Amino acid sequence: MKKGLVIVESPAKAKTIGRFLGSKYSVMASMGHIRDLPKSTLGVDVDNLFEPKYVVPKAKAKVVSQIKTAAAKADAIFLATDPDREGEAISWHLVSAAKLEGNDRELRRVVFHEITADAIKKAFKNTREIDMNLVNAQQARRVLDRLVGYKLSPLLWKKVQRGLSAGRVQSVTVRMVVDREREREAFKADEYWVLQVKLGRTTDEKESFWAKVVKLRNGRKFPVSSEAVAVHTMEQLVSASYSVAKVASREAQRRPTAPFTTSTMQQEASRRLRFSASQTMVVAQQLYEGVALAGGETAGLITYMRTDSPRMSPGAVSEIRDYVTATYGESYIPAKPYRYASKGKFAQEAHECIRPTSVARTPESMKAFLDSRQLRLYRLIWQRAVASEMSPSIYDNAAVTVEATTGDDGGFLLEASASKLKFAGFAVLYSEKADDSPDEEESSQLPDVKEGEHLAYVDSSTEQKFTQPPPRYTEATLVRALEQLGIGRPSTYAPTLSVIQLRDYVAKEAGRFFPTRLGIGVSDLLSEHFPKVVDVGFTAQMEGQLDEIAQGDRDWVSVVSEFYVPFAGVLDGAEERIARVDVTEPTDEVCPNCGKPMIIRSGRFGRFLACTGYPECKTTKPLVKTTGAKCPECGADIVQKRSKKGKTFYGCSAYPNCNFATSRRPVAKACPECGKLMVEQGKGKAKCLSCNAVVSAESEGETDGSSEE
């Protein structure tokens, strides 16, 4: 008896869906893309409407054969790949590679955004044909990326060094990091002083409050830019007379934040959980595809994790509102549900936000079925989604303006403010502070002073400060910047951040990106000779055109042609015009074999020492970056290393005789409790690997609070 064949991407997804569909269907996994452009050649016929020349990789030949065999036994085929452009393209490639059309069998596309029994059942009742607009948008992106990568990368090999790559999104991202570093280098700090006076009805501590000097008494600005001005001002404030000029109080509301999209999930997971963007997506994929629960049940715990829409289905909103009412009471639910809209012009509104598939599966109830990382991310997603439909937090805000009158009838205006939580609302469930940050303290309260009331001087303080340069990007802020500028899409953020580190274009220090010498050299070369490739505005415009293709408003070939024709013109003769770029770094080391100086080069697995006598002398040495910490197993130095996938880790310098390694940066000083090795915990903390004691890393003077997790 024939039955339906369902094709998905991953075995985990196939296993979960197979349980829902039962014996009438067989479910197979394509193991991702089944067909792609060849690796050895360009694979795009630029003289024939940019026709792609797709091939089935050898590694996928067996999968294609198995799908063909299974399809021959089925009377209906359902393409259930992911609900985005990549998923649509995979379905289209499957049809061609496995020859699924014909033989009078039904061939349908099935789309669902969560892997639950109800969602699967509904999806199979509402099948459709493959959406060629989505396929063409993916084809255009793939062809553009191939043209940029395969045309520019060989040029970088010749003019910089072998093994480099260029890309539409990655090259712009590197330029953003380079530009930020140059902003920091060009920044000139300005000195300023913060002056505060402690005032009160009496000198009683309970009746006192601190007020900040903000203006002259006549309302003009009063910048304190030197110590001399600060000292002179304080001399006047000590003997001034003080009176309350204005008292203001108001009730303020703070609405909850929208549920997660891909980028906001990556940002919050980076900021709160210290997850990298790629790690977040791996864990989210696991939660989406299905987890084994009690009683043999299997279900996806969250909706599809690649989305730019914060919209939530009416059914999910209703379920959350019922849960909140039963758990916290009616006062924690607003009269009407919130409506969250996408900010992007071409956001996929058919998609939903990232939310739990069932609010009844609370994080606490999932502890037995999830590992620690899965649980932490699931808790974040669950709390954010539930809180997004809860009542606002309500605060009582108070502000006091004080006049300080000096002897010459001049004086200053001082301000003080305080905020008191009146009603927690959504904050009872979801706080935006990081997991390991200290609890937020409520603002100090103001005494109940009245307008016209005279106050007594109690104390004063001065603090010298300097304006700060723009901060380096973290993973969270770089993802946010890419999203705001319209560079890339939800599916591209994580791989982009991974590849620019793998290529050694950028590195991390204290959790923040800075460009390497190699990254600066490559970015400058592209900026000078191929400005459009690394132009933020042009790249964002290109993303918009890809979205227009997906909407059916643009032809994909014309979009590619408009980019490629001028690009090819600039590329013509570039090898002769462009001078070689030296991105090596000098060192004090000499070659042990020929005595010539050694320099730092970047390679496939990171930076290394190489002899300047190459190619006559091919001596190389690993570039060892010590941490100052000693191996807890053999006592040798612990050094910074890099995996084949580009991940930074820390291992024993005596390897392979000693295999000790850790993902977190070791602290040089030993644990004060047990004397064993400590590693950075983040937020200025260090944790012992033996007794789990947590101490301030700053007090030890050895760490910067970074995390390499």
Of 639, 629, 627, 708, the C-alpha closest to 671 is 629
Query: Above pLDDT 70, what percent of the chain?
Result: 93
pLDDT value, residue 680:
84
Q: Does 641 score more than 90 pLDDT?
A: no
CA–CA–CA angle 470, 475, 478 (5° rounding)? 55
Q: Does 667 score more than 90 pLDDT?
A: no
pLDDT value, residue 203:
62
CA–CA–CA angle 220, 223, 225 (5° rounding)? 160
| 397 half-sphere exposure, CB direction, 13 A CA radius | 9
Q: Does 673 score more than 90 pLDDT?
A: no
Between these two residues, 400 and 448, which has the higher pLDDT value?
A: 400
- Only one residue has tokens 């001002």, namely 233
Element spanning 559, H or E: helix 556-571
The full set of domain ranges for the chain reads 3-130, 138-187+472-577, 191-255+393-466, 262-387, 585-622, 625-700
- Return left, alpha or beta for 43; rule: phi > 0 is left, psi -120 to 50 is alpha, else beta: left
Contact assessment for residue 140 and residue 580, using Cβ atoms and an 8 Å cutoff? no
Please name the amino acid found at residue 453: E
Average the pLDDT over 376-404 and give the result.
97
Q: Does 496 score more than 60 pLDDT?
A: yes
Query: In whole angstroms, what is the distance from residue 473 CA to residue 180 CA?
Result: 8
pLDDT value, residue 685:
79
pLDDT, tens digit, 9 for 90 and up, residues 126-181: 999 999 999 999 999 999 999 999 999 999 999 998 888 999 999 999 999 999 99
pLDDT grade for 377, boundaries at 50, 70 and 90: very high
pLDDT grade for 204, boundaries at 50, 70 and 90: low
pLDDT grade for 624, boundaries at 50, 70 and 90: confident
Calculate the average pLDDT of the chain. Answer: 90
Q: Does 318 score more than 80 pLDDT?
A: yes
Contact assessment for residue 88 and residue 81, using Cβ atoms and an 8 Å cutoff? yes
Contact assessment for residue 193 and residue 464, using Cβ atoms and an 8 Å cutoff? yes
Domain at 262-387: CATH code: 1.10.290.10
pLDDT value, residue 434:
56
pLDDT value, residue 602:
80
* pTM beyond cutoff 0.75: yes
SS (H, E, C) 149-161: HHHHHHHHHHHCC
Q: Does 550 score more than 60 pLDDT?
A: yes
Average the pLDDT over 262-271 and give the result.
95
Q: Does 511 score more than 90 pLDDT?
A: no
Average the pLDDT over 584-606 and give the result.
87
Query: In whole angstroms, what is the distance from residue 202 CA to residue 204 CA?
Result: 5
Q: Does 558 score more than 50 pLDDT?
A: yes
CATH class assigned to 3-130? alpha beta
Find the DSSP H helices in 201-295. 227-238, 262-273, 277-289
* Three-state secondary structure call for residue 147: helix
pLDDT value, residue 642:
73
Query: In whole angstroms, what is the distance from residue 598 CA to residue 588 CA?
Result: 7
pLDDT value, residue 697:
59
The architecture that CATH gives domain 138-187+472-577 is Orthogonal Bundle (1.10)
pLDDT, tens digit, 9 for 90 and up, residues 42-60: 999 999 999 999 999 999 9
* Three-state secondary structure call for residue 376: helix
Of 240, 411, 389, 394, the C-alpha closest to 321 is 389
Contact residues for 27 (Cβ-Cβ < 8 A; gap 6+): 5, 6, 7, 8, 14, 15, 17, 18, 21
Residue 303: alpha-carbon gap to chain centroid: 19
pLDDT grade for 691, boundaries at 50, 70 and 90: confident
End-to-end CA distance of the chain: 51
pLDDT value, residue 317:
96
Strand blocks (E) in 106-190: 106-109
What is the number of residues in the chain? 709
DSSP-derived pairing of the beta strands 25-29 and 3-8: parallel
Active site residues: 304
pLDDT, tens digit, 9 for 90 and up, residues 349-364: 457 999 999 999 999 9
Average the pLDDT over 550-563 and give the result.
96
Buried b vs exposed e over 124-155: b needs ≥16 C-beta within 10 Å? beebeebbebbbbbbbbbbbbbbbbbbbbeeb
Query: In whole angstroms, what is the distance from residue 500 CA to residue 492 CA?
Result: 12
pLDDT value, residue 646:
61
pLDDT grade for 584, boundaries at 50, 70 and 90: confident
Average the pLDDT over 583-591 and give the result.
89
pLDDT value, residue 585:
87
Residues paired with residue 208 on neighbouring β-strands, in sequence order: 200
Between these two residues, 188 and 509, which has the higher pLDDT value?
A: 188
> Which stretch of 72-76, 450-454, 645-649 has the lowest confidence by average pLDDT?
645-649
pLDDT, tens digit, 9 for 90 and up, residues 60-111: 999 999 999 999 999 999 999 999 999 999 999 999 999 999 878 899 999 9
Task: State which fold the 191-255+393-466 domain adopts.
Answer: Topoisomerase I; domain 3 (2.70.20)
pLDDT grade for 604, boundaries at 50, 70 and 90: low
- Only one residue has tokens 């705001």, namely 484
Average the pLDDT over 231-248 and give the result.
95
- The segment with the largest mean pLDDT, out of 209-218, 682-691, 700-709, is 209-218
Count other Cβ atoms within 10 Å, centred on residue 79. Answer: 25
Quick one: 352 exposed, middle or buried, by C-beta within 10 A (0-12, 13-18, 19+)? buried
Query: In whole angstroms, what is the distance from residue 147 CA to residue 560 CA?
Result: 9
Number of H helices, E strands in the chain: 18, 28
